[in-house]
Structure 1
Amino acid sequence: MTPALNELPLQPFVDAEGQLPLAELEGIGIYAIYDRDRQLQLIHYSRNVSLSLQQHLLRQPDRCYWFRAQRCDRPDRQQLEALQQAWLAEQLQVPPGNGDQAADWEPRLDVRQWLPESELTAILTASDFEQPQLLKAAARRWETELLAQLTARGVRQSLRFDPKQKELGRLTLKSDRPTVSVITP
């Protein structure tokens, strides 16, 4: 039986050495994310909690300061959804990431959403050969900006991005694990 959300320890995203202490969370589980003021932002589940938490940190660096997590050894989707609903029911209000701001927490970072209209138009009208190169260049710019934000937060851990995803305009962390997709309801 999984404990109530508030029974789990509140852990920092970034430890005193600038590392993301998430290695023990590789695998299937459920997690909750809190902002700097320890206000709950999101309750979600994943096939790789560690990787999902890292992706959320990239997507929402100003809202990912603390987390609670529980690994599940032999879960199924119904069990994870039930646990998510139980943790949500413990709350007085729906966390923003589970409510009206859910799209802000999607784990995939698509750089096209941040491009000026003129650059996006240039990419969309480029040839099939040029388009991946233009998307990769845009992804690299956003990667540099995101890593600078994380460095300012004190993150010293190296983060690797999947180079093939950059050609699609996406910033996706590269994992050494063979299966790392996020379970979506």
Structure 2
Amino acid sequence: MLFIFNLFLIFLKSKKICFKFVILIIFINKTVGENLYFHNIRCYSCTSLDGEKLLNDIKDYNWHKWMENIRYVPYTDGCSDTFTPDIALRSGAKSQECENGICMKMSLMYLNRTSKVWRGCIPKSKNQIRTDCTKISSNEGSMELCTCDNHLCNNINKIKYNYILSILFIIFCLKY
């Protein structure tokens, strides 16, 4: 809260219009952006994995219990590593609310260069699981599990609007 108050004071004291724009963007992002989705975000939900085959291959009880959630995820070939939201949503992928959780993307890359993906939500995991990527390799291929905590962030091709807007304003400020 003190940070927002200080931004407001800088905004009032600033003489340069360009600097005021930058401060205004930061102020709006801090006050509105973080609370826009409250505590629930949305995640893409789909898989290109054969869930039953995967479940038969997993022997560890805890992993098996967690992976059982794949049964409730829409299967679509549009849920590949070359994920395009419009195409994926038309082919059956969903956008689901993630109750106090984080989004995840699990990619399996087999030795024959084929890949399969599962995108979804890990509910009630915010502040318990950090956003990160973990890659595990074996003699059959590799698995990468990535987690993120922004709205529809389990789409690797997404560029955030706020970054583009900030870059445009910085360019504007440098020219004028």
TM-score after normalising by structure 1: 0.26
Is the radius of gyration larger for structure 1 or structure 2? 2
Greater percentage in strand: 2
